[in-house]
Amino acid sequence: MTARAVRAPGPDDLDRAWRAVSAELEPSPLVPSALAPGALLKLETFQPTGAFKVRGALAAVAALPAGVPAVTASAGNHGLGMGYAAARSGADVTVVVSTRASRVKVDRIGAYPVRLVQHGLTYDEAEAHALTLPGHYVSPYNDPAVIAGQGTIGRELDAQAPGPLTVVAPVGGGGLLAGLCLWARERGDVRVVGVESAVSRGVSASVAAGRVVAVEVGETFADGLPGNLEAGSVTPGVIGDTAALTSVTDGQIRTAMRWLFHEHGLVAEGAGAAGVAAVLAGQVEVAGRPVVVISGRNITVPTFTEAIGENQPIRGNPGGRTA
């Protein structure tokens, strides 16, 4: 497939996104945690759609020319964000998901005023189909407004957490990590760490290669993490050498989900707990105060109870030092 022409975002995009997002959303909570000395959890689970991707969706819909329809593909949370943005703005939005997308997310997307299309067995197949549909394609990660919208987490941290920080966040297509890197370069005293699934490391492979490369994608219950990048995606270039990248296994993610539930009473989906998983596993080198983004809570009850019911050790890792 021919790569789309997508420009990389800049500081002006972050400014525009901040105006759009802050007009619609209150800052998400930032709470102290025993995860590591001085640690803070940024609770994007408290967003109205249950995940951070509503930020990028609001920014992208606000950037649409009047009357232009939007089409997107999603593993679930981006579709929820686009649905929320459509409801707030009246925009014409089509959301494409795979036939294996999380049922709880699909049902919630369908409750918004969008056209919902299920196509293909994987996210990659759903995305390829969405790119053939008429309208302005809003990628969940490869879009300057979406990337900048996710970067508004950083603008909130400017007020919530002054001083040097290490911000840890999950990585799927790289939109959140790219947005945080855009903000981190603006701020100057922030280290960013991205956490991929061990069975899907497309972003780290592409950053290392200096271009988008395909990788083998394995099975994981953390449905927001796996998948290859769209050809020509700008996210690896935006991330560049600003972020360190590491990965976690499904077992480590399940341990993190259990830890969040037992220590904080928080429900997090697999992708949402990836940052905590990396800290618990000792894979994050902290420079400054650690802030871990808990990125989403949209998970079925059976999947969640199975994950947290597994007999795995739950313990903090104040001295983790390796990524």
Separation CA 183–CA 284 (nearest Å): 20
Where do we find the tokens 């593993």?
75
Q: Which two tokens stand for residue 285?
A: 């080198």
The C-alpha atoms of residue 155 and residue 250 are separated, in whole angstroms, by 31
What ranges do the domains of the chain cover?
11-52+145-308, 55-143
Residue 187, SS3?
A: helix
pLDDT of residue 98: 93
All residue ranges of the chain with pLDDT < 70 are 1, 310-323
Helix residue spans in the chain (DSSP H): 11-22, 54-63, 77-89, 103-110, 123-130, 144-150, 152-160, 175-187, 202-209, 235-239, 250-264, 274-280, 301-308
**In this predicted model, what pLDDT tens digit does every residue of 181-235 receive, in sequence order?**
999 999 999 999 999 999 999 999 999 999 999 999 999 988 888 888 989 999 9
Architecture (CATH level 2) of domain 55-143: 3-Layer(aba) Sandwich (3.40)
What's the rounded Cα separation, in Å, for the pair 111 and 258?
Answer: 30
pLDDT score of 317: 36
Question: What are the angstrom distances between the C-alpha of 279 and each of 173, 191, 224, 294?
Answer: 21, 14, 19, 12
Whole-prediction pTM: 0.92
Q: 11-52+145-308 and 55-143 share one CATH topology? A: yes
- pLDDT the model gives residue 310: 59
Angle among Cα 115, 118, 124 to the nearest 5 degrees reads: 115
User: Which one of 3.40.50.300, 3.40.50.1100, 3.40.50.12280, 3.30.565.10 gives the CATH number of domain 11-52+145-308?
Assistant: 3.40.50.1100
Of 163, 220, 208, 151, the C-alpha closest to 190 is 163
Cβ atoms of 24 and 253 within 8 Å: the answer is: no
